[in-house]
Every structure is written in structure tokens, then in C-alpha cells.
Structure 1
Amino acid sequence: MKSLVIAFAMYSKLPMPRMDWEEKTLAWALCWFPLVGMVIGAVLYGWMALAEFLHIGPALFGAIALLIPIALSGGIHLDGFCDTCDALSSHQSRERKLEILKDSHTGAFAIICCGLYLLVFFALWCEVETAGSAILVLALGPALARSLSGLFAVTLPNARGTGMLATFTGPMDTAKARGILAFWVILCAGIMLWLSFLTGGAALLGAGLACLYYHRMSQKQFGGVTGDLAGFFLQTCELAMVLAVVIAQRVVAVL
């Protein structure tokens, strides 16, 4: 239970009791990361259901749907997205890119990429249809993204060997952690497909493409993963899932 509290304290803004960061508790904290996504998804589901019931317009619906995961996570993953965009846009050596990730200053490319990301994600939320099983598939998106992010964190090499991500993964039994996080991935993916083969399959396709890009990019550009890169993946994975669902819904509507 201490690991659960630490996971929510680190990866969400939900109020949690103060807990000492001991090696034993840190070793299992990342395994609870998908549960943070479940809670965020539950709040997102509540908003989607309320917006459908009250016939709220697409602009307000999209704005709140975009805000919920960012607000509940405290923006920690969006911060990693911005830092990664700065590093990638520098076109410097691998060592220099890793230095840029640690730099607390925000560069111009981070601001530009963040603005474009929020604009595109907002537009996608305005376009998505939340009727029927699609609402549940979309609500599972945050849990699946965090399951995949955690799985990559304990599978791919750490680019620096230090930092916040290394603090969590260092004491872990990686074999057991991979098994638990893989179970979370299979569980989320299975439920999505069971809810709707079309919508769930589209969301999984989007997540899969995000995984392929992240694996190639992180290995080639940084030589592994860091906490910032994990946040970058989570944000792009969530966007890719909603994008794939919107495209699938539009294709079906045309056909």
C-alpha cells in the first residue's frame, strides 16, 4: 500500500498521505502507475457522460476533456513532452540532447510543440464521437498509455542511469515488474477489443504506432529512456489513440 501511495503522490495531484521513499516501497511503485490512469479515465468517463447528457457543445467538451488528464497528473508528463521536443529540435549530439533534457529552462521549440500538441488534441476531442462503447474505450486510454510507458521504462535501457526514472526502476525486480505491467497492457487491450472491435482496435493501432516511433526514437536519439522521454511517450500515445478513433469513426460514417 505504501507503493500505491507513492505512485499516486508522484504521478498525480490527488491528495495522498506523506510516505517515506524507502527502497522496498519504490521497487513496486511503478507497477501501480496504470491504476493512476484508471482513476484519470474514470474522471474522464464521468465528464464524457455528463457532456453527452447535458448536450454540451464540442468546444467546451474538448477543452475539459483535454484538461482532465493534464490537471490530474499535475502536468508532469507534459513537462517531459516539452523537454523532449527541445532536445529533439536541437539536432545536437546524444550527450548534448541528454543535457537539454535536464535543463530546467524552457526553449522556444518546447513552447511551439506544446502549443501545437494542445491545439491538435483539442481539435480531436471536439471531433470524437462518445456514444456507445466508444466512451469506455476512450476512458481506458490513460490506463493503457501508462501501462505501456511503465513497461518501456523497465524494458529499455536507461539513457542516463540516474534521475527520477532510475530512482523508481533501480530497486525493482525487473522480471516481475515486466510481468505485472505486461498484464496491465493485456488487460486494457483486451477490454478495449471486447467493448468494441472497431473503436478498440483503432485505439490499439494508434497506441502501437506510438510505441514503434518511441522505441526507434529513444534508442536512436538518446540511447535509451529517461523520465522525460516516458512523459513524451505517454502524451503522444494518448493523442495517437484518440486520433485513430476519430479516423475510424469518420471512415465508418463515410462507408
Structure 2
Amino acid sequence: MFDSLKIAFSMYSAIPVPGTAWEEKPMRYAMCWFPLIGAAEGAVLYLTHFALRRIGAGEIVAAAAGTAVPLLVTGGIHLDGYLDTSDALHSWENAERKLKILKDPHVGAFAVIRCAWYMILYLGAMAAVMTAGPNAVLMMGGVYVLERALSGSSVVLFPKAKQDGLAVTFSRSSADRAVTAASAFWAMAAMVWIVFWGKQTGAILGAGCLFSYGLYYRTAMKEFHGMTGDLAGWFLQRCELTGAWIIALAAMLKI
């Protein structure tokens, strides 16, 4: 199980971990540990928030730091999927052509446009989250865990759009029941955490993340006839942005 944990962190984070062979047995359970990367990301965000408050950093600095934390922890792997999927969706081609666009290593115009759009909106949301107080930051940490639990579950539960790629590799190697049970456990734990720190806002936040998950399934099936690793990253980033703005709006409206 420790090897499975190392595989999850080496694949989906930029956190240094001891090397391990990508053998079938540890890969079967790697997705069980995927949400722990979100917990690590949340811990880094909280420590960053604490340090910035101690030195009296301003709103712009806090917003920039909050925006940078997910990229530093993950290395941008999920944002890459978001950008590839943005290019594919805005091509308005059929599903087969969209899947080819996902595999294209070149960056298209819509990926650049959507990246700018995303980062501006994320920066704005994090300005409110990082200045709203510790509870808002702790809720954001819960979002990091919840979105990964939902994204990980899709690897074993959703039909696949193609027969190769990272999602298929992990799906073929995974112990489906273990991954499904672990994803459900982490999702429930994250929901409890979010509601504990956010009360009414936490309940709305959890519902917003689940709504994003439903839209993810609808888009995957309608536009691609199944999910891919890029689509899982696309969902994760959209869910994170949705969560950040729910927290930000609640803070601004003093809910």
C-alpha cells in the first residue's frame, strides 16, 4: 500500500517521493490515495495563509500565493488536462476528432484564452478566500480532497472514451471495489470537513461540487462518448474554481 501511495504522489503531484516501480499490484490501489494529495495541498495553503497573516501581507499578495499553491503542489498536471479539453470542446468537431485534439501536444488558441480566463477568475476568488479567515481556507482544503475523490471515482465508474491513455492504464490496473470504496470514504470525509468549518456555506459548497461532477459526466458522455485523463483534469479544475467562488461569494455576502 505504501508503494501505491508513492505512485499516486509521483504521478499527480510535484512533491518529491522515493522512487518505486510502477508494477501492477501497487498500481491497483494508487487511486485510493489520490485525495491525500488534496489534503497535502490544503495543508500547504493553510500554512501559507498563516504565514502571510503573521507578516501582514496584503490582499494581492495573499491572492497570488493562494493561486500559486495548487500549481506548485501538482506541477500543473490537471491544468494541462483542462487546457487540452478546452481546445477540444471549442473545436465543435465530432467526438472522434475531439479525442484526436486531446492527444495533440500543440497548444491551441482556445487553450490560451481559457487559461487566461481561468487564472483571472481563480485569482479573484482566492483574494476573497485568503482574506476571509482560517475557516474559508480550511473549506478550500476540503474542496481539494473532495474534487480528487470524485475525479478518482470517475476513473473506475465512467465509460472510457478510448482504449489507451493514463485513465485507461489506471482503470485496467485498479481494484475497482477498493477504489470506489476509498473514493466514497474520502468524499464523505471531505463533506463532513467542509460542513463542519462552513456550516450553511459548507453545505452549499458540497452541493456545488457534486453538481460539477454531474456536469462532468454529461460533458464526457455527450462530447467524447466517455471519459479520459484530460477530462478528469478538466473536471478537477472546474470543480476547484466553482468551490473557490462559492467560498468567496459567501465571504463577500457574509453568509
Deviation, 1:209, is 2.5
- Contact 2:132–2:251 (CA under 8 A) maintained in structure 1: no
* Alpha-carbon distance in 2 for matches of 1:89, 1:133: 37
Q: Is the 8 A contact 1:205 1:244 kept in 2?
A: no
1:37-116 pair list within 5 angstroms: 37-116=38-117
Q: Is the 8 A contact 2:38 2:141 kept in 1?
A: no
Are positions 1:124 and 2:125 aligned together? yes
Determine the structure 1 residue equivalent to 2:167. Answer: 165
CA contact (8 A) 1:48 1:130 kept: no
Match in the other structure for 1:147: 149
Deviation (angstroms), 1:152: 1.5
> What is residue 24 of structure 2 aligned with on the other side?
23
Tell me the equivalent position of 2:201: 199
TM-score, length basis structure 1: 0.95
Aligned to 2:241: 239
Instruction: Give the paired residue count.
Output: 253
The one-letter code sitting in structure 2 at the alignment partner of 1:166 is: V
Contact 1:137 1:199 in 2 (8 A): no
Q: Percent of aligned positions with the same letter in both sequences?
A: 38
> What TM-score, normalized to structure 2?
0.95
Q: 8 Å contact 1:134–1:199 — kept in the other structure?
A: no
Q: Deviations over 1:225-247 (max 9, x none)?
A: 11100110111111100111122
Q: In the alignment, is the contact (CA less than 8 A) between 1:202 and 1:248 conserved in 2? A: no
Unaligned runs of 5+ in 2: none
CA distance in 2, matches of 1:105, 1:135: 35
Task: Specify whether residues 132 and 79 from structure 1 end up closer, same or farther in structure 2 by C-alpha distance, changes over 3 A only.
Answer: closer
CA positional deviation for 1:132 = 4.4
Q: Note the alpha carbon deviations across 1:121-165, whole angstroms, 9 max, x for none.
A: 001111234324222112222111111110122111111121011
Partner residue of 1:230? 232
* Cα distance between partner residues in 1 of 2:204 and 2:95: 34
Task: Give the Å deviation of 1:195.
Answer: 2.1
User: Corresponding residue for 2:179?
Assistant: 177
